[in-house]
Structure 1
Amino acid sequence: MHTTEILSRIQQGEDSTTQFKLDMTDANRLADELVAFSNAEGGVLLIGVEDQGKIAGLDNQQISRLNQLISNTANENVKPPIYPLTEIVSVQDKKIIAVHVRKGVARPYQTNKGLFLTKSGSDKRKMSSEELRRLFATSQRLFADEETLNGTDIGDINTEIVYDFLNNDNPEILEALKNETLPINVVLQNLGLLSDDALTLAGNLLFGKLPQRYTPSFYIDCVHFAGNDVDADRFIDKSTIKGTLRTQYEGAMQFLRNNLRHIPQSEDFNAQTRLEIDERVFGELIVNALVHRDYYIQSSIKVFVFDDRIEIISPGKLPNSLTVDKIKNGLSVHRNPVLNSISKNLLPYSGYGSGIKRVLRLQPDVQLVNDKELEVFSCRIPRT
C-alpha cells in the first residue's frame, strides 16, 4: 500500500473498511477486529495511528511484538484461521503497521470466545441469528489449500516448475502455453493454483518462487538428537528445510540419508551399503506429512532422529472420522484436494491411500499415533 493511499485513508477517517489503533496488546481485542473485517467486506487495520487520525508511529520493539501478536492471533484466536498481510509503512517519517484483511471465503468467522462479529460503519457489532443463518447457507467452505494468500499475484509463481509439471501431466496444455494460445492465468485457475488473481496456498507451496515469504510456518524442521529425548542443547545435526513441497521432501530425505547408519552388505572393503531403514518407509511418511498435514495450523513438520527411533510429526490430528485402524486398511480422506491431485506428478505419491499399507508391509513395527489433544499425527520408526 502506497504512502499516499495510507494518508488518504487517515484523512478520511475510520469507516467500515479502515480502523485506527494506537497500539494493540490484547489478542482477544485484536481477534475482534480481524473477525469483524473477515465477516464483512475486508479492510485495513492501521496500528500506530490515534483514533482522531494523528500518526503516532511505532518503534522497532513494538513492531516486532505486534508482528508476532498478529500472526498468533490470526491462527489461534480466529476460527477458522485467516491469513492477513502485514506491511510496515513509513508515513511522515514514522513507522506504522498496515494489517490487510480480506473478505473471508469461509464465513462466518468467530473468535475463540465464540463471538461472531461484523462491521457496522466504523464500529463492530455481534451478528444477528438471521445474518448467521444466511452466511452459513451461502458459505463457500474451502479447503485450506484453496485459500488465497494476501499480497500474492501471478508473478510469485515459478513458471519453470509449472512447465516441467505440465510436460509430464498435460503436454498439450504446455504446447498451448508456449504458443500463447492459452493464457497461463487460466491454466493456473483451472488447476486451483490461482484465484481472484492471487495464489492459493497450494499454488504457493507447489510452485511459489519463495513460498515461506507468504506462509512462513510451513517448512520442515529436521534434528538429530543425541540420545532418546528432545534436548535443544544435545543435538548432532539439524536443518531447517524451506522451499516448495518438492524441495522440502528432497531436503528431508537427504537429511535422513546423512544421519542414518549405512550398513555394508558384505565384508568386502568396497562392499555396497544400505541404509538401516528402507528409504521407502520414511520417504512415504514424509510425503504423507507434506500432502495431508493440517495447513490451518501454523506450525512446521518435525523430523526427529533419536538413538532408538525416527519420529515424523505432522501438524493436525486425523480429519473427520478417520482413525489409525482405517488408514492402516487403506482408507483416506483428502484434507488438501489440490495438493493431493497435483503432487502425483511432483512427488513420489500415488494418492490412492496405499502408502501406509506399503510402509507397514516394509516395516511392520512402525507406530502411528493420532494425538487429538496436541493435534498432531506422529509416525515412529524404530531403528535397528
Structure 2
Amino acid sequence: MSETNRIEYKRELSDGLEKEVVAFLNYREGGIIYIGIDKEGRTFGVKDPDSVQLKIKDRVRNNIRPSALGLFDIVTEERDGNDILKIIVASGSEKPYHLKKFGMSEKGCFIRLGSAAEPMSQKLIEELFATRTRNSIGKIKAHRQDLRFEQLHIYYQEKQKPLNKQFRKNLELTTTGGDLNYAAYLLADENNVSVKLAKYKGNTRVDLVESNEYGYCSLIKATKSVLDKMNLENRTITKITHSERKEHRLWNAIALREAIINAFVHNDYTREIAPKFEIFSDRIEITSAGSLPDGLSKNEFFEGFSIPRNKELMRIYKDLDLVEQLGSGIPRILESYSKDSFRFSENFLRMVFPASEEVFDKTTNETPQVTLQETPQVTPQVQDLLNVINGEDSRSELQYHLGLSDRENFRKNYLQPALAEGLIEMTIPEKPQSSKQRYRLTGRGAKARKI
C-alpha cells in the first residue's frame, strides 16, 4: 500500500514527526502515521516499540500547540513478523495547530495535501485562527473552584496510574489562566450534571415504568453506572432446539457499550445537556447533544474519522481504558447495526438499536417477593454506609468514603448486614465476585438514609 492523503510511512522515528502530526491535526480527516515502514511500503519494524512510544508521546506533548492530548493514539501492530507503530491522529477543533518552536507562521503550520505535509499560507493560518473553537469545555472557567477529585483519584489508582499533585495541569483541567475549567467540573466529585435513564412499557414515552438518575458526581462514575445498568437490562435470551442451545442478547453488547461511551465522550456539554438513555419495548435510544463537528461529513463519521468534541474527556477515558483507540467506536457499532440506526439533527445525535426480542419478557415468571421486616435493623455502621452511597459505588469507593482500610471489617459489619436487610443491592447479582460489581440503594434503603 502506498502513501495517501491519510497515510504516512516512516522507516524510523525521525525529526520530521511533529510536522506530519501537525499536518494531520489541521487536515479535516486526520490521518495515520506508520513507524517501521518505508516510503515504498516495505516493513522494517521497530526494535523497541515501548521506548519509541514514550518518545513520540513526549515529543507531541511538548512540541505542538495547541495541546494535541486526546487527539492522537499510538498502538503496536505486527506486520510481516515485525512490530510497527501506528499513530492515529484526529482532526483537531482548535486549528491551526503548529510547531511550538516556530509559532503560528508558515514555518510552524502545516496541512496535508495529497501525500505530503505542506506549509500553510499566512492567509489560511489567519482564516483558521478566526474560526477556532472558543466555546469548549477546556476553555470555559468552571463556576465553582472548590472542586474535589477523590473519585478520579480512585479510578486512576485502580488502573495503577496514580495521579500526582500536578494532575489538574497534566490532565488539562485548567484554563490558560490557571482556573479549573468545565472539564474539571464534569469530572469532579460533585456537580449538577444529571444523566437520565428511563424505561417505558410500550414503544412510546407514555407509560414510564422506571426512571433512574445517575449524576451529581464524576462523569466517569456516571458512565460506569450507566454501563452497569445497561448490562443488567441487556438480558440473554436462550432458545433450545432438539439439536442445539442458542443464546443471544437483546442488543449486541459491544455495540451497546461503544454507543454509551460515544454519547458521554462526544456530548456537547456547553449546552448544559447530558446524554440521555431510553429503553422501549422494542428498542433502545441513546441521545447526545450536539450535531456533527464542523468539517465532518456523515460519510466520514461512518468511516471512523474522528474529531473529538471534548479532547480532555477523550484523553481521560482512554487513560481509564473506557476508550480503546481513536475512531474505532462507530465502525464497531456498524458491524452489528446499520447506518439507519443513526439520526442526525442540528442539535442532537441519536442512536436507535432495535431489540432482538420483546424487551419485557412475558414468559418469565415474576421474581418471588422476599418478605422483609417493616422496620429494617439499621446499625450505626450500616447507617453510615447508606449515607455515603451516591448512585452506584464499588467496594473500594465505599471504603474510601467511609475511611475504612480493613476490607474484612467493611464486609462483615457494613456490606453484608445492608444486603441482608435489603437496604442495598448488587448491580451484578448473578456474579457477586465480579470486579465490576457495584452497590446501590434499594427503595427501602433510600427511606432509611439520613442525609
Which bracket does the TM-score occupy, shorter chain normalised? 0.5 to 0.7
Give the Å deviation of 1:335.
1.2
Give the Å deviation of 1:306.
1.1
1:59-78 aligned at under 5 Å gives the runs none
1:194 corresponds to which residue?
174
Out of 227, 251, 272, the residue aligned to residue 202 of structure 2 is: 227
1:324-335 aligned at under 5 Å gives the runs 324-335=298-309
Question: How many residues are paired up?
Answer: 226
**Structure 1 Cα separation of the partners of residues 234 and 132 of structure 2:** 48
Q: 1:258 to 1:236 in 2, by over 3 A?
A: farther
Out of 135, 158, 166, the residue aligned to residue 149 of structure 2 is: 158
**Structure 1 Cα separation of the partners of residues 352 and 190 of structure 2:** 31
**Structure 2 Cα separation of the partners of residues 359 and 342 of structure 1:** 22
Tell me, yes or no, if the aligned pair for 2:152 and 2:218 is still in contact at 8 Å. no
1:67-146 aligned at under 5 Å gives the runs 141=134, 143-146=136-139
Give the Å deviation of 1:266.
4.5
Tell me, yes or no, if the aligned pair for 1:260 and 1:276 is still in contact at 8 Å. yes
Tell me, yes or no, if the aligned pair for 2:135 and 2:270 is still in contact at 8 Å. no
**Structure 1 Cα separation of the partners of residues 319 and 287 of structure 2:** 24
Give the Å deviation of 1:139.
9.1
Give the Å deviation of 1:366.
5.9
Give the Å deviation of 1:149.
0.6
**Structure 1 Cα separation of the partners of residues 246 and 152 of structure 2:** 34
**Structure 1 Cα separation of the partners of residues 265 and 130 of structure 2:** 29
Q: 1:334 to 1:305 in 2, by over 3 A?
A: same
1:203 aligned onto 2:176? no
1:238 aligned onto 2:211? yes
Q: Classify the secondary structure of the residue corresponding to 2:324.
A: coil
**Structure 2 Cα separation of the partners of residues 140 and 323 of structure 1:** 18
Structure 1 residues 116-151: Cα deviation after superposition (integer angstroms, max 9, x where no partner) = xxxxxxxxxxxxxxxxxxxx9799935224422123
**Structure 1 Cα separation of the partners of residues 130 and 296 of structure 2:** 26
1:314 aligned onto 2:288? yes
Q: Classify the secondary structure of the residue corresponding to 1:362.
A: coil
Q: Classify the secondary structure of the residue corresponding to 2:350.
A: strand
Q: Classify the secondary structure of the residue corresponding to 2:271.
A: coil
Q: Classify the secondary structure of the residue corresponding to 1:238.
A: strand
Tell me, yes or no, if the aligned pair for 1:150 and 1:198 is still in contact at 8 Å. no
**Structure 1 Cα separation of the partners of residues 213 and 154 of structure 2:** 28
Tell me, yes or no, if the aligned pair for 2:155 and 2:320 is still in contact at 8 Å. no
Q: 1:165 to 1:142 in 2, by over 3 A?
A: farther
**Structure 2 Cα separation of the partners of residues 274 and 365 of structure 1:** 22
Q: Classify the secondary structure of the residue corresponding to 2:254.
A: helix
Structure holding more helix per residue: 1
Give the Å deviation of 1:327.
1.2
Runs of at least 5 residues in structure 2 that lack an aligned partner in the other structure: 1-128, 357-451
Q: 1:280 to 1:146 in 2, by over 3 A?
A: farther
Structure 1 residues 178-217: Cα deviation after superposition (integer angstroms, max 9, x where no partner) = xxxxxx1x331132113445322222223x11132xxxxx
2:108 corresponds to which residue?
none
1:52 corresponds to which residue?
none
Q: Report the residue type matching 1:203 in the other structure.
A: A
Structure 1 residues 67-88: Cα deviation after superposition (integer angstroms, max 9, x where no partner) = xxxxxxxxxxxxxxxxxxxxxx
Q: Report the residue type matching 2:148 in the other structure.
A: I
2:416 corresponds to which residue?
none
Q: Report the residue type matching 2:179 in the other structure.
A: A
Q: 1:225 to 1:162 in 2, by over 3 A?
A: same
**Structure 1 Cα separation of the partners of residues 240 and 148 of structure 2:** 48
2:106 corresponds to which residue?
none
**Structure 2 Cα separation of the partners of residues 160 and 368 of structure 1:** 33
1:383 corresponds to which residue?
355
Give the Å deviation of 1:161.
2.6
Q: Classify the secondary structure of the residue corresponding to 1:199.
A: coil
Worse-superposed segment, 285-294 or 246-255: 246-255
Q: TM-score, normalised by structure 1?
A: 0.52
1:148 corresponds to which residue?
141
Q: 1:369 to 1:169 in 2, by over 3 A?
A: farther
Tell me, yes or no, if the aligned pair for 1:311 and 1:381 is still in contact at 8 Å. yes
1:54 corresponds to which residue?
none
1:42 corresponds to which residue?
none
Q: TM-score, normalised by structure 2?
A: 0.45
Tell me, yes or no, if the aligned pair for 1:341 and 1:351 is still in contact at 8 Å. no
**Structure 1 Cα separation of the partners of residues 169 and 321 of structure 2:** 21
1:359 aligned onto 2:350? no
Out of 285, 292, 302, the residue aligned to residue 259 of structure 2 is: 285
**Structure 2 Cα separation of the partners of residues 354 and 140 of structure 1:** 24
**Structure 1 Cα separation of the partners of residues 268 and 318 of structure 2:** 19
Q: 4+ residue runs of structure 1 moved beyond 6 angstroms?
A: 136-140
Worse-superposed segment, 188-197 or 328-337: 188-197
Runs of at least 5 residues in structure 1 that lack an aligned partner in the other structure: 1-135, 178-183, 213-217
Q: 1:187 to 1:251 in 2, by over 3 A?
A: closer
Structure 1 residues 141-169: Cα deviation after superposition (integer angstroms, max 9, x where no partner) = 3522442212313xx22246336426748
